[in-house]
Structure 1
């Protein structure tokens, strides 16, 4: 399809503006590696908070959450309800811990508890997870952009990837945080505008959306039963809690932001602000999905036959953006979708470069490196990670069935790190050996839970398949690591007396 010229101009101006603004931080005088990695520890808490919020939101959220609400109900919103609980744990325990350690790396603490192997293991898992994450977001961002703009998917992936690489590698964390703040504002304004237009397009006014939603049970948060095989309220809440503990506790993206604030109090404020903002904004996305459902119930003739199947739910919002908005606003909404994807990828690039420098280059290759070496390594690392993520994303265009396997593998990596971190933090008597055994057993459990549903679909091995809901993988795996290490420490300590 062909976008109106005004929309295309708005979109291109936005993209160019973000690129130039982010790259401008490269030309600041007297820049240090401290500026690149943690913004000189002087960034305002509101900007860091907006960056934390933007890290939570990706282009997947912008399109998948409305699609989910359109197709089903608000069950997935329960994930957002777990964020304030995880944020409270973070500001009480994790933020003071990392501010006290004073390392740019989230994994230095694991070395102080369990030795160099733990730091190296966790940092490699993080880098592999980020490659999967960035590649997937680039790919999923390209799909609606292909539908909206008619551009080739591979071209969109390459252009978007290179754009983010330029400003993330040149500008460092300051560029990432300030562009995240701008993109977070654009994203919220775009979503609010879209919802307002839908609500006031209803023949009987905004309340008609509520009435139609209630008639079709669209506001349900899911079953309150205790099943472990279905996406009940409790399964989603517990899953959200563990995922967000992982974000706040062992994700370099978040830890770097704790270190970027002027004070510990500022870091706590930014954590509360960013995480709390996501709750109403995610609610906004779910409400957009419900409003779209009501809109097309009232105006069914406006929805093409090809978009009336269940498989097309994620395409409803992009279709409305192009066909239901006035000229000019379509360009703004497309910019919002790009904003969500770019902010997530730029965050991952900067944090990955920091991990490569602090956990690998400084430790194993050049100790201590000069300031010039640091800058060179950070820039090269960001470019290499960005380029690899483009390759991963392009591979997904050829092997789409690999998408589920990618995410299954990333849960194997990340689940093991969260369990190790919680073991180190909350059980002070656990030693290296117990922790290592716990991690090995935990990863085997996580691998079984993650991979058997992907690879065992029929045949005699079907009974070996994980029967539990996929969202419980990180929960069970993390608990296995924690409990194994804790119980082994009790056994070893008792036998040593």
Structure 2
């Protein structure tokens, strides 16, 4: 990175922190601090909701996901528009009518205190874990750029977010997220145009899409019912709808965004804006990853995108074996570039088919070399991380983009991290203050709860940083966040649906059912991980929601029969 990159990166982040702190100074009551004074317009709500979900993980992992597996991941978001409509019709009017600070307040009115407390604790556990990962993700980036250790970076990133979130509460989060989303959209469009510009002169956008499609990267829809495929149309529509209903309807980090709306209509418009824009946005981010794949069809790529793992390998006794693999890779890269140019320029379909066979064979050989490299990395360092999906996009940025643009795109990823983390800390603090603390201490004046909320924000910031410091790369960071959510969200959503639609079910039945169900869902996930069953994580949302409803109905029936 050059001086210009540091100026752009540092200036962007410093502006966001100072702007958020300055604009929200002087919050004196709980309503201002936790609900932003209820004066947010629909576009602020929509961008804030989107920024909360679009963490650094989105911009780190999603392009890498597309690079390796293509566009199929977009099916994960197909349930989002459906969920937005349901939340606008059912959830938002209810929350506004009750004037709640958190989603879980409603559960005490409908059931009892212990059910409210349980739902709040389930949220705190899963969101606390996920917040640590949203800090950890950008730390990986700067670790690759600066060579600093991850613990130091986790602390720096966490502290930056804590400063303005503690100071300004919900309004600080919403205000800064508008600037952050502006940086994000500009940076991603710019990176897309730069990739197109870097392709050979004969390769237009349509030809680039032909190349991606020929290599299976443009297979968007999978209508199969196979549980072997993690992302299908059906898992997205069914599992995705339940996940999005839980996330946007019962997760305080999202509920708090639209509770700050000036009216029911403003909140509804904000969520519908998010529903209309989110799927195209995710499609575009995946498309950037596909374009990175096309770029590397004409340019040499590393055998593993994780620079630390490669450095360890080069300094080990296996360096000579790795050199042999690198030489083979270079030959494949050169031949692949020639054949891809021929594939994109010739007109004869029969010749294209022959070339396509050769191209697929070369890409298969490339994958085998990558697997052999992973084996060598583990031999050199058994504790090394061989998964490199989360490093693909950052490697492209650092090794191919011009001065200034590198700093801008790092600012994109870090802005996303800060916006998402700020929302999550704000929600964790408000849930702890209003659902746990306030319900177990004597009634205090407003100022006391503002102070308590700030201390809880600081506490959760420290916890999130601590989780980030012990986190490790999973198969893919964006999948890890969604897996954590899927383990808890179905159960929480089921509790809310029982509250909305099953008026005769009482608190005791729901409380017992939720406890049993959470153990059941965690067991299903572990059984799947150890390959005793085959149940992709997206289906845990549907199963968890359905099972807690059936359990509660069964327990309530037994109680009635006994009476």
TM score, norm. by length of structure 2: 0.81
Kept in 2, the 8 Å contact 1:238–1:475? The answer is: yes
> Alignment partner for residue 88 of structure 1, among 80, 85, 90?
85
Residue in 1 aligned with 2:432?
Answer: 356
Aligned to 2:149: 152
Deviations 1:74-98 (A, max 9, x none): 1110112211011011111111111
Is residue 479 of structure 1 aligned with residue 546 of structure 2?
yes
Alignment equivalent of 2:521, drawn from 440, 443, 446: 446
Match of 1:276 in 2: 276
Match of 2:205 in 1: 206
Q: Flag the structure with larger Rg.
A: 2
Q: Return the alpha-carbon distance in structure 2 between the equivalents of residues 183 and 420 of structure 1.
A: 34
Residue aligned with 1:170, SS: helix
Q: 1:76 aligns with which of 63, 67, 73?
A: 73
Q: Spell out, residue by residue over 1:141-194, the C-alpha distance to the aligned partner (whole angstroms, 9 max, x if none).
A: 211221133332111100000010111010111110011111111111111100
Structure 2 gaps of 5+ residues are 306-365, 372-386
Instruction: Find 1:392's aligned residue among 461, 467, 491.
Output: 467
Aligned to 1:60: 57
CA RMSD of aligned residues (A): 2.2
8 A Cα contact 1:98 1:258, kept in partner: no
Hey, what does 2:7 align to over in structure 1? 9
Deviations 1:416-472 (A, max 9, x none): 222111111121111123212321332132021122344xx4xxxx7xx33322221
The answer on whether the counterparts of 1:99 and 1:258 sit within 8 Å (CA) in structure 2 is no
Equivalent in the alignment of 2:384:
none
Give CA deviations for 1:19-71 in whole Å, capped at 9, x if unaligned.
Answer: 1112114533x632211111111112111110001011111111111111111
Structure 2 distance, partners of 1:306, 1:79, is: 27
Measure the CA separation in 2 of the matches of 1:87 and 1:220: 26
Matched, 1:180 2:255: no
- 1:231-265 CA distances to partner (integer Å, 9 max, x unpaired)? 23312332211110101221112222222111110
Alignment of 1:273-352 (within 5 A): 273-299=273-299, 301=300, 303-307=301-305, 309=370, 311-352=387-428
Q: CA-to-partner distance for each residue in 1:94-149, whole Å, 9 max, x for gaps? A: 11111111111110111112100011111111111221011111112211221133
Partner of 2:536: 469
Asked if the contact 2:78/2:233 (under 8 Å) is kept, the reply is no
- The aligned residue for residue 125 of structure 1 is 122
- Check if 1:111 corresponds to 2:108: yes
User: How many residues of Structure 1 are paired with residues of Structure 2 in the alignment?
Assistant: 480
Q: Deviations over 1:357-400 (max 9, x none)?
A: 21122211131x11221121011000000011111111226x98
Paired residues of 2:243 and 2:538 also in contact (CA < 8 A):
no
- Structure 2 CA distance for aligned equivalents of residues 224 and 87 of structure 1: 23
Counterpart check, 1:435 vs 2:434 = no
Report if aligned partners of 2:142, 2:148 keep a CA contact under 8 Å in 1: yes
Residues 221 and 213 of structure 1, relative CA distance in 2, 3 Å threshold: same
Change (3 A) 1:372 1:136: same
Aligned to 1:247: 247
Task: Give the Cα separation in 2 of the matches to 1:284 and 1:83.
Answer: 16
Match of 1:230?
229
Measured in 1, the distance between the counterparts of 2:32 and 2:466 equals 29
**Mean alpha-carbon deviation: is it higher for 134-143 or for 438-447?**
438-447
SS of residue paired to 2:227: coil
TM-superposed CA distance for 1:335, in Å, is 0.2
3-state SS of paired residue (2:234) = helix
Say which is worse superposed, 199-208 or 42-51, in terms of deviation.
199-208
Q: Does 1:365 align with 2:437?
A: no
Question: Which ranges of structure 1 fall in alignment gaps of 5 or more residues?
Answer: none
